[in-house]
Amino acid sequence: MADTIILLEISPKLGNYRIIKRWVKQRLGIEECIYNPRYQMLKCMLQWSKNYNEGKDNLKDRISPYKEKVITLKNNKDIHIFLEECLNTKKLA
């Protein structure tokens, strides 16, 4: 059982930008990947992102019984603050 659940809720535009950026790097061979970075894979990743952002994966419903364990991070600043706090309190042992 997890002690903490970290939910990343970045903006859809930023998420799609990162998906496309990573896919281009993989396509050019700059970044390794375990799949063949074809256009169909990019389309699937963008569709997954859309479904996630629209709540079609029911993630929030699935983690609602554990709401006391959920930490929601919405941007890079939140992520950095959380990691700093973890390092300072040594939560990530």
What digits encode the pLDDT tens for the residues 72-81? 999 999 999 9
What number of residues does the chain have?
93
Output the pTM of the full model: 0.75
pLDDT in tens, 45-83: 999 999 998 988 899 899 999 999 999 999 999 999 999
What is the C-alpha to C-alpha distance for residues 19 and 58, in angstroms, rounded to an integer?
21
Of 76, 69, 81, 58, the C-alpha closest to 10 is 76
Tokens of 48: 């997954």
Q: What is the CA radius of gyration of the chain?
A: 16
